[in-house]
Structure 1
Amino acid sequence: MIGLFVGFGLLIGILFGFFGMGGSFLVTPALLVIGYPAPVAVGSGLAFVFGTSVIGALRHRDHGQVSYKLATVMILGLTFGIEVGTRVVFLLADLGSADVVIGVVYVGLLGAVGLTVLRDARTDGTDAGTGRVATRVRAIQIPPMVSLPGGATVSVWVILAVGSAIGVLSGCLGVGGGFLLLPVMVSGFGIPAAIAAGTSILQISVSGAFGTFVYAQSNAVDIPVVAALLGGSALGARIGASATRLVNEADIKGYFAVMLLSGSVDTASKQVSVAYGVGMLGTGSTVLIFGTAVVVSGAIVRTSIAALRENRERGSSLTH
């Protein structure tokens, strides 16, 4: 099992470095599917978030893909929200309904965000930051205002509100919030995808550290599992972060949507399996979550290698 987690960590490392997410949107469902209690799955997911995001944040900083101004404001909201979300999880655990509630929320949230990102990807990224959501966000002119990469000017209060809402979900679901932060920053704030990914990882490193501390106080973090995942993800994170410079923005969104929709279907299958005793669905959900990580990670690496070859051939033709 430890070897499996090391391999899974490698795949998630590639995905998180590429998408700007801590990877817990796959880790937490995977632990739930395997049979870990909800508080432990959530706490371990956040601990994994913290470890991977530190590695990825340093890599994106080297590429100049971080907006420190936005990250600072968002972190304030995330920290407050995580405290609220954590209290909700332990309340649900005391009532005996944490597994069901968290599973249902995962299914709905991942599915909704995945479909939204897929729709944006099909537009080839040409309308990012120019849709109705972005227009409404920019129409809120409550000072102080913050200038962001991509040319947008957004109210600090809007950023704090968004950060707090994502923080609540992060504390409840054991995610760093990257799968929500990335589409919010790209489609809502109009920030380029590569910079959004780097900024997201920086924010996640702070929120993940805070969430881990809160859950660790209740012994809800499985250290051997987290260590195995982190060991595998260290190399993967560097590969994924480098790939963002080689893959176009529409492809990033497309891969991202596939991962979110897969997580939604996987968690739904697990919930149905437990509720109705259908063992085949439980096995299928395990295969789906690990299989999707393998397929998408492989696609990212393959696309990056193809882009490198194309760049080299282009450079060679120019020198001749």
Structure 2
Amino acid sequence: MAVELLGVGAATLALFVGFGVLVGVLFGFFGMGGSFLVTPALLVMGYPSRVAVGSGLAFVFGTSVIGALRHRDLGQVDYRLAALLTVSVSVGIEFGKRAVLSLEALGAADLVVSVAYVVLLGAVGAFVVVDARREGDPTGSGAVLARVRLPPTVSILDGPTVSVWVVFAIGLVVGVLAGFLGVGGGFLLMPAMLYGLGVPAAVAVGTDILQITISGAVGSFLYAQSGGVDLSIVAPLLAGSALGARVGSAATGVVSEDDIKGYFGAMLLLGAVAVAIRQVGLALGTPALSHLSLAIIVGSALLVSGAVCYSSLLALRRREEPRPASTD
């Protein structure tokens, strides 16, 4: 007799737990919501769109709480910056949604949003990868926006002092794009903090996760009211991510900043390819391309999370290696 939990068979249960570990590692390491992985996977598995999106948001909320607590313990969360970004991103999302509604009235929303998503994801990913391979100052002191001193200002944890107006403007722009594209905005906010404000990579991840916690809570609550959250999906995913998020969060403290940027950029580039293939499949009515898209997303997540764990082990091994004795 098959073992079941909340109506989920043993094989599906193991799949969800394993997938939760995988997404948890990536979330804890990058501060990116797992809905861009979980939602398409649930859609391909045959779950209704409402359940796929709602359960994905609930999973992101639960995982972000775990990740935020871990980053707090590591001292990698800037609470003032997170509060400013949460407010400004929320305002921007509303404007983004209105832009989508206007495009829907013209019958051009699906095409414009899909193209914008692929282009933006690919462009940001390419920029981050190139920057990670470039030799230079790793502290983020070259961030132009961090040099604006329009009062009032706020001091960033382990980073520069920046104008509150600049922080709000960045959050507003990211929010508009997030609302327009229908995503959480983590893949946009991370580069904005790194390159716009000069926030250290580990602090950027922890702060991003904290603001995702708030937005994820609102989204999952709204979907739960309409029955869009399936606990038989969310519970095993969260069980796995509880471990994965702690591993990913801890890795940010030992892996170099350039490696964090490089893995992040690679994940975005692979995601752009996967989304592009999925959109082509939808346009042509070819289910095989949608399955290929999911395979690329899951495969890239597995590859990058494995690289993160491997880099962490190497970094820890170097720290534990005895230093050569002095010849003086």
TM-score (norm 2): 0.83
2:194 maps to 1:183: no
Contact 1:82/1:211 (8 A) holds in 2: no
Deviation of 1:34 after TM superposition, in Å, equals 5.1
Deviation of 1:152 after TM superposition, in Å, equals 2.3
Equivalent position of 1:233 in the other structure:
241
2:250 maps to 1:242: yes
Deviation of 1:313 after TM superposition, in Å, equals 1.9
Q: Which has the larger radius of gyration?
A: 2
Moved more, 214-223 or 184-193: 214-223
Contact 1:46/1:175 (8 A) holds in 2: no
**C-alpha distance 103-225 of structure 1, shift in aligned 2 (>3 A):** farther
What are the equivalent positions in structure 2 for 1:75-86 lying under 5 Å apart?
75-85=86-96
Q: Which runs of 5+ in 1 are unaligned?
A: none
Identify the match of residue 157 of structure 2 among 136, 144, 149. Answer: 149
Deviation of 1:139 after TM superposition, in Å, equals 4.9
Deviation of 1:104 after TM superposition, in Å, equals 3.4
**C-alpha distance 48-229 of structure 1, shift in aligned 2 (>3 A):** same
Equivalent position of 1:123 in the other structure:
134
Equivalent position of 1:254 in the other structure:
262
Deviation of 1:196 after TM superposition, in Å, equals 1.1
Name the Cα RMSD after superposition: 3.0
Deviation of 1:305 after TM superposition, in Å, equals 1.4
Counterpart residue identity of residue 142, structure 1 = L
Counterpart residue identity of residue 254, structure 2 = L
**C-alpha distance 215-193 of structure 1, shift in aligned 2 (>3 A):** same
Contact 2:42/2:52 (8 A) holds in 1: yes
Counterpart residue identity of residue 145, structure 1 = T
2:315 maps to 1:289: no
2:275 maps to 1:264: no
Identify the match of residue 32 of structure 2 among 10, 16, 21. Answer: 21
Identify the match of residue 192 of structure 1 among 187, 192, 200. Answer: 200
Contact 2:280/2:289 (8 A) holds in 1: yes
Deviation of 1:248 after TM superposition, in Å, equals 0.6
Moved more, 92-101 or 256-265: 92-101
**C-alpha distance 259-284 of structure 1, shift in aligned 2 (>3 A):** same
Contact 1:8/1:232 (8 A) holds in 2: yes
1:314 is paired with a residue whose SS is coil
What are the equivalent positions in structure 2 for 1:62-77 lying under 5 Å apart?
62-77=73-88
2:163 maps to 1:158: no
Identify the match of residue 50 of structure 1 among 57, 61, 83. Answer: 61
Deviation of 1:176 after TM superposition, in Å, equals 3.1
Separation in 2, partners of 1:297, 1:275: 31
TM-score (norm 1): 0.85
**C-alpha distance 30-168 of structure 1, shift in aligned 2 (>3 A):** farther
Equivalent position of 1:112 in the other structure:
123
2:322 is paired with a residue whose SS is helix
Contact 1:128/1:187 (8 A) holds in 2: no
Equivalent position of 2:284 in the other structure:
276
Moved more, 114-123 or 272-281: 272-281
Q: Indicate the structure with greater helix content.
A: 1
What are the equivalent positions in structure 2 for 1:5-16 lying under 5 Å apart?
5-16=16-27
Counterpart residue identity of residue 193, structure 2 = M
Deviation of 1:289 after TM superposition, in Å, equals 0.8
- Of all paired residues, the percent bearing the same amino acid is 59
Q: C-alpha offsets along residues 111-139 of structure 1, whole Å, 9 cap, x if unaligned?
A: 121111112111156256344xx32x235
Moved more, 12-21 or 121-130: 121-130
Counterpart residue identity of residue 56, structure 1 = G
Equivalent position of 2:15 in the other structure:
4
2:253 is paired with a residue whose SS is coil
1:129 is paired with a residue whose SS is coil
Equivalent position of 2:9 in the other structure:
none
- Pairs aligned (count): 315
**C-alpha distance 233-184 of structure 1, shift in aligned 2 (>3 A):** same
Moved more, 205-214 or 55-64: 205-214
